[in-house]
Amino acid sequence: MSERAAPPGKLALVQALVNTLDVESGADALDTADGRAPFGLTEDTAACARELRESLRVTLLAHAGHPPHRAVAPLGELLARAPLVVTVDPADGSAALAPVDDGPLLFRIAAAVAEAVAAGTWNRLKACEADDCLWAYYDRSPAGRGRWCSMQVCGARAKMRRYRAKGA
Convert the pLDDT of each residue in 54-84 to its tens digit: 999 999 999 998 888 888 999 999 999 999 9
pLDDT digits (tens, 9 = 90+) for 107-157: 999 999 999 999 999 999 999 988 888 999 999 888 777 776 766 667 566
- How far apart are the C-alpha atoms of 43 and 56, rounded to whole Å? 20
Q: What is the pTM of this model?
A: 0.85
CA distance 155 to 129: 9
Q: In the Cβ-directed half-sphere of 52, how many Cα atoms lie within 13 Å? A: 27
Cα torsion at 106, 107, 111, 117 (round to 10°)? 40
What per-residue confidence (pLDDT) applies to 4? 64
The 10 Å Cβ neighbour count of residue 53 is 23
